[in-house]
Amino acid sequence: MKKVLIFDDDEDILAICTYVLEDAGWEVIAYTDCRDVIARTAAFRPDVILMDNWIPDEGGIVATQILKKDPVLQRIPVIYFSANSNIGELAITAGADHVLAKPFDLEDLRLTVLKALK
């Protein structure tokens, strides 16, 4: 079973993503902050990570940059996830591999995760 790790501070967004992705047959763990990003990621070993931009404590950019500096965890694709209109620039700064702009269709969410898993 493929595993998805989600970082987003909005409980509803987490509930929706968990619902959709579990419905698609994936295992999901979600956090409302991005503390201990390395430890949490290393413990769960996800196949893909969804990272929100505005998230406590350091924000998605810093958290993604930390992940992308880790020699092992850097291989896990990160989908950058934001309602900011300049999501593309943010994703590049963070070093993320894919973007998913909020608001998204549930189908977009599923397809973006599928694409990242390939």
Distance CA 21, CA 59 (A): 23
Distance CA 24, CA 58 (A): 31
Residue in 104, 112, 113, 116 binding another protein, rule: CB under 8 A: 104
Q: Is residue 30 at the binding interface for another protein, with CB under 8 A as the rule?
A: no
Q: Is residue 56 at the binding interface for another protein, with CB under 8 A as the rule?
A: no
Q: Is residue 103 at the binding interface for another protein, with CB under 8 A as the rule?
A: yes
Question: How near is the Cβ of 58 to another protein at its closest, in Å?
Answer: 18
Closer residue to another protein in complex, CB, 20/66: 20
Which residues contribute to the site for another protein (CB under 8 A)? 10, 12-13, 16, 19-20, 54, 83-85, 88, 102-106
